[in-house]
Amino acid sequence: MAAQITVYMKPTCPHCRMVEQYLDDHGVSYQKRDVTVDQEAARELERIHAPGVPVTVIDGLAVVGFDKFRLDDELKAHGVEIVKDP
């Protein structure tokens, strides 16, 4: 079964765009949730106790901010195949 990946973001957030670009460049499928228009997504983000966006949730594990090394590690740990050096 594929890992469930959700990125909580805001359209004006540069780090959010970096996370999206990183995942796109590496062929990772994910769901994007804009907390500025999606009230349920905003409530989910509050339950995570994240200080802000971006937050990438991989099978329930939250990675706050854009940390490509941690994203790589957690994606691999959850069995997500990553395209190398796109």
Confidence at residue 78, expressed as pLDDT on a 0 to 100 scale:
92
Confidence at residue 85, expressed as pLDDT on a 0 to 100 scale:
60
* Residue 55 belongs to a domain: yes
CATH (domain of 73): 3.40.30.10
* Residue 39 belongs to a domain: yes
* Residue 51 belongs to a domain: yes
pLDDT score of 1 more than 90: no
* Residue 82 belongs to a domain: no
Confidence at residue 83, expressed as pLDDT on a 0 to 100 scale:
79
Question: What is the SS3 assignment for 32-48?
Answer: EEECCCCHHHHHHHHHH
Domain that holds residue 45: 5-77
* Residue 83 belongs to a domain: no
Which residues on adjacent β-strands are paired with residue 56? 7, 63
Confidence at residue 2, expressed as pLDDT on a 0 to 100 scale:
80
Q: pLDDT tens digit string along 22-81? A: 999 999 999 999 999 999 999 999 999 988 999 999 999 999 999 999 999 999 999 998
What predicted TM-score, i.e. pTM, was given to this entire model? 0.91
- CA-nearest of 57, 34, 37 to 47 is 57
